[in-house]
A and B are shown apart, each in its own frame.
Chain A
Amino acid sequence: MGGALATRTVDLLQGTLDLLVLKSLTWGPCHGYGVARCIQRLTDDVLHVEEGSLYPALHRLEERGLVSAEWGVSENNRRAKFYRLNPRGRQHLRVEASSWTRYAEAVGKVLRAAESTG
């Protein structure tokens, strides 16, 4: 845990955080802390997510109607706000994920080509 911040972390690209949050909610409703843990686990701590930035992202997604929120009880018996991916959010994630993948593939292809000529 002490080495959570590895030396070779990558700064998060603009707009990518939303995608990660939506993805982490596909496993079921979750509160903010859970989303943070989830991202941490999924990226093996490679991406540097400042945890505070998660919350404006979550609220923005709620405002845009991509996630729904309601208050419930956390695992340690506290009042917590749970976020849930709704059908619109699921659809949004699908579109964004595929475009992200295409983007990443394209960039990767370019970079690979440069290697072979160089």
Chain B
Amino acid sequence: MRVPRGWWRTLQLGRRDSRTEVDEELELHLAMRTEEYVAAGMSPEEARAEALRRFGDLARTRESCRRIVDRTATSTRRKDAWSGLRQDVVYALRTLARSPGLTAAILVTLALGIGANTAIFTVVKGVLLRPLPYGNPERLVSVYDVFTGIDLPHSVLSEPELLDLERSVSAFSAVAAYRAGKLTLAGVGPPERVASMSTTASFARALGVQPVLGRFFGPDEDRPGQGQVVVLEHGFWQRRFGGDPGVLGRRLSLNGTPRVVVGVMPRGFTFGDAEMFVPLEIDRGTPAPRTGHYLEAVARLRPGLSLADASSQLAALVGRLVPENSDAYPANMGFSMGVESLTDTLVGSIRPALLTLLSAAGLLLLVACANVANLLLLRAEGRRRELALRTALGAGRGRLIRQLLTESLILAAAGGALGLLLAAVGVPLLLSLDPAGLPRRDAIAIDYTVCAVTLGLSMLTGVAFGLAPALQALRLDLQGGLKEGGSSGTGPRRRRLRRGFVVLEISLAMVLVAGAALLIQSFWRLRNVDLGFRSDHVLTLDLSLPEASYNDTTKVLGFYEGLLQGLGGLPGVTAIGAASLLPLTGREGNWDVEIEGRPIRPGDPAPSPAVNIATPGYYRAMRIPIVSGRVLLPSDDERAPPVAVVNETMARTLWHGDDPVGRRFKVLGDSTPWMTVVGVTRDVRSWGIARAARAEYTLPHRQLPVTVREARRSMSVVLRTSGDPLDIAGAVRREIASLDPELAVANLRTMDRVVSDSLSRPRFTMLLLVLFGALALTLAAVGVYGVMAHGVAQRAREIGIRLALGAQPRYVRRLVVAEGLALALAGLAAGVLLALLVSRLLASQLYGIEPTDPVTYLAISLLLLAVALLATWQPARRATRVDPLGALRAD
């Protein structure tokens, strides 16, 4: 255990003293003996010599005495120091217990500030700071396509591009491709849709992981028709197979195809939400066309090479590819390739929100510190008499400051402990606020680092808010303290310090409240976005027919026809339909088209609207309004002429405002038929609540075999009901099971829930910032109240005199309120400036509102002013009730 510095210095001093004391003691002995001999008649020189002889070895004696004395001094001083510390602690505890209300207020304030920071930091650490669970994760990068010409800054790769990366980018020691999907697992319990990841065989090597059991895919297993194998994720293996090692070699039916389990990934390894890994089949001899983009790519940088090296090699590759493949990369597409760290790919989207919250929590902690410092200052003032008395009785100034710091450190430690407790409760609560969006949630845990950070924060806070009262104690005027009776006068410097803290609190609270207000409005706007459909009273579910058992188009169309008929007959169902692109849940999915009469010029990109595939009932079930023409009809079947419905954006951008009904276009490809536009619908938010609609067209499900020569197996079914949609969920499941017991129903939920889920991340940020803002506002109000109430108490005498001299109570009240207002206005002015500076960082979190929105700032200023007035009201009223005689007699 190290002794603090102050104590150390006293030890050094003690050592010097004890050495001179030894010399003094021995010299006295020699002097007295010499005197004795002189008295007996010796000459002084002889006497001294004789005394020395009789004494023996003077140097050795001195040395051994010093050693003993040093040893003694050290141990007694140390004992003193510790007993002093113990005394300080006991005394501090007693003092704190004497004012339980104030102590509780301080502890709650600290616990909130520290707890909020610990909770947010826990999440930030798990999501942003903890290394990814792969070998040397800092060398892992993502590679992506960039098409600046069609506004696609971050796109997926095609098979030839992947092969190019493997062959000609030497900066990568391994390249792997992957694609997330879902597989229907049958034969092990009830059929279940399982999140899967199709990967190349190089995947495990690129990520630097080895299966804990069995093996990963062999080098030939990622070719078409080669590897009917599967590797399980550790958690899935535990959950579905009880961690049985005998699972190796077992055959699982996945999408109706048998696959052999060959391996299990290690515990802690996660990639997206994948529960199983299957080979991504690529025919390396004759890969798919260069324009078929569907692969995500991860690569490992060679040791010693940087992102910049990889980036320049990619640029060189693109420089070769574009002239060689001018048909695939028309000049107007603006094709290039980009590379970024894998961490950025995985958590980049949530980073701004988390950093916003971390900053907000930091501000809240500052407000809490200012508030506690203020409370402690007030108390220190109340204790001036006691402190002065102790000084008079001989307590050193250093000792008093140590006493005050001990008190604040004890408070901070207790506040930190409470804060940690709060975080332990708060983190799960926080995670439950964001059920869908947060990546890497399994990495979120309160650990040693978090505890250490909490401890550091608490100690820092303790010193920060303990220092002000301690410094004040240093300036303590001994006579003043006793003479004034410790109640009436307060130095202007001290009052300025306290007001400074209140102004700081108000301005910081202003920043937090402004941020919260902006997010509330942004959320409100998101909530009221015109989605283009009605989400109430709609039940939805996802189905995916396994290719093995639904291997031709008639079977697929027959199944869906029977399904919609069966479900439509359930009591309470008023409309039913199915679509491939459920609103708000869309991922990328564009099919290039050609408009009749407008052939695509070489070098120009083809129009690339999003595509949806729907059944006729879909529009009625979702209440999507039709603007012009008609919706899809049951008569638009495989025998009828091919038709399509387009949305308003597509009508506007591709037909430039002309009514497209009756015009024709076709999906780009060999011998695809022309399709006639029969109707225009309102825009629907397909890609997310904050993302504006893109050009989009809808094809009838039944005509797909004609238009693109395939059938769509994965569809989302939507049912409009007269009552609560969830009431019929059980009946829907039973009906589907009666049609095909092997089929897994996924994502059975209401459409309202889909809307609510897509709002979960903005709601998460908003709720937390509102919470922080409310806390900061409360703390600031407490700060204003404390200072004003104390000010009134301190000036009771002055107010009493004024009242005695005939001042109106109204005048006195105005005096106090004006003082409070002055504080609030100073805080507001500083706060608005600060908020204007800081809120720009919030811009990426806002929808439909500017971070500098003047109305918001005005409203927030008024709110803060009102709160400050409210906090001043009670002290002002108390001022008018000061008893003039009592106030004058008090001293």
Q: Are A53 and B72 in contact (CB under 8 A)?
A: no
B21: chain A residues within 8 A (beta carbon): 71, 81
- Asked if A36 is at the interface of the complex by the 8 Å CB criterion, the answer is yes
Taking beta carbons and an 8 Å cutoff, which residues of A are in contact with B?
A: 1-2, 4, 31-33, 36, 50-53, 55-56, 59-60, 62-63, 71, 74, 76, 78-81
Q: Are A36 and B29 in contact (CB under 8 A)?
A: yes
Q: Which chain B residues numbered 19 to 65 have a C-beta less than 8 Å away from chain A?
A: 21-22, 24-26, 28-29, 31-33, 35-37, 40, 54-58, 60-61, 64-65
Q: Are B72 and A62 in contact (CB under 8 A)?
A: yes
Q: Are A52 and B60 in contact (CB under 8 A)?
A: yes
- Asked if B69 is at the interface of the complex by the 8 Å CB criterion, the answer is yes
Q: Please, could you name 5 A-B residue pairs with CB atoms under 8 Å apart, sorted by A?
A: A1-B36, A32-B28, A33-B28, A50-B55, A62-B68
Contact of A32 among B25, B35, B36 (CB under 8 A): B25
Give bound CA distance, A40 to B398, whole Å. 49
Q: How many A-B residue pairs have CB under 8 A?
A: 66
User: What is the minimal beta-carbon distance from A39 to any residue of chain B, in angstroms?
Assistant: 13
Q: Are B33 and A33 in contact (CB under 8 A)?
A: yes
- Asked if B71 is at the interface of the complex by the 8 Å CB criterion, the answer is yes
Among A1, A2, A59, find the residue whose CB has the most chain B CB atoms closer than 10 A: A59
Give bound CA distance, A50 to B51, whole Å. 11
A71: chain B residues within 8 A (beta carbon): 21
Taking beta carbons and an 8 Å cutoff, which residues of B are in contact with A?
A: 21-22, 24-26, 28-29, 31-33, 35-37, 40, 54-58, 60-61, 64-65, 68-69, 71-72
Q: Are A55 and B26 in contact (CB under 8 A)?
A: yes
Contact of A52 with B55 at beta-carbon distance under 8 Å, contacts A32-B25, A36-B29, A80-B28 already known: yes
Contact of A63 with B72 at beta-carbon distance under 8 Å, contacts A55-B65, A81-B25 already known: yes
Contact of B25 among A1, A63, A80 (CB under 8 A): A80
Nearest-neighbor residue (CB-CB) of A71 within chain B: B21
Contact of A52 among B28, B36, B56, B68 (CB under 8 A): B56
Q: Are B72 and A59 in contact (CB under 8 A)?
A: yes
User: What is the minimal beta-carbon distance from B17 to any residue of chain A, in angstroms?
Assistant: 11
Q: Are A78 and B61 in contact (CB under 8 A)?
A: no
Q: Are B61 and A59 in contact (CB under 8 A)?
A: no
B69: chain A residues within 8 A (beta carbon): 59
Q: Are A50 and B56 in contact (CB under 8 A)?
A: yes
Give bound CA distance, A81 to B23, whole Å. 11
- Interface residue SS majority, chain B: helix
Contact of B28 among A31, A62, A63 (CB under 8 A): A31
Give bound CA distance, A79 to B25, whole Å. 9
Give bound CA distance, A80 to B35, whole Å. 16
Give bound CA distance, A4 to B55, whole Å. 13
Q: Are B72 and A52 in contact (CB under 8 A)?
A: no
A81: chain B residues within 8 A (beta carbon): 21, 24-25
A32: chain B residues within 8 A (beta carbon): 25-26, 28-29
Give bound CA distance, A81 to B21, whole Å. 9
User: What is the minimal beta-carbon distance from A82 to any residue of chain B, in angstroms?
Assistant: 10
Nearest-neighbor residue (CB-CB) of B37 within chain A: A1
A53: chain B residues within 8 A (beta carbon): 56, 61
B54: chain A residues within 8 A (beta carbon): 4, 50-51
B24: chain A residues within 8 A (beta carbon): 79, 81
Q: Are A59 and B28 in contact (CB under 8 A)?
A: no
User: What is the minimal beta-carbon distance from A87 to any residue of chain B, in angstroms?
Assistant: 19
A74: chain B residues within 8 A (beta carbon): 28, 32
Q: Are B28 and A51 in contact (CB under 8 A)?
A: no
B29: chain A residues within 8 A (beta carbon): 32-33, 36, 51, 55
B71: chain A residues within 8 A (beta carbon): 63
With contacts A1-B36, A55-B25, A81-B24 known, what are 10 further pairs, Cβ within 8 A?
A2-B40, A33-B29, A50-B56, A53-B61, A55-B29, A63-B68, A63-B71, A71-B21, A80-B25, A81-B25
Nearest-neighbor residue (CB-CB) of A1 within chain B: B40
Q: Are A51 and B32 in contact (CB under 8 A)?
A: no
Contact of B61 among A1, A56, A63, A76 (CB under 8 A): A56
A63: chain B residues within 8 A (beta carbon): 68, 71-72
B64: chain A residues within 8 A (beta carbon): 56
Q: Are B35 and A76 in contact (CB under 8 A)?
A: yes
B58: chain A residues within 8 A (beta carbon): 52
Contact of B68 among A2, A4, A33, A59 (CB under 8 A): A59
User: What is the minimal beta-carbon distance from B506 to any residue of chain A, in angstroms?
Assistant: 59
Nearest-neighbor residue (CB-CB) of B64 within chain A: A56
Give bound CA distance, A76 to B26, whole Å. 16
User: What is the minimal beta-carbon distance from A67 to any residue of chain B, in angstroms?
Assistant: 12
Give bound CA distance, A31 to B54, whole Å. 17
Nearest-neighbor residue (CB-CB) of B76 within chain A: A63
B28: chain A residues within 8 A (beta carbon): 31-33, 74, 78-80
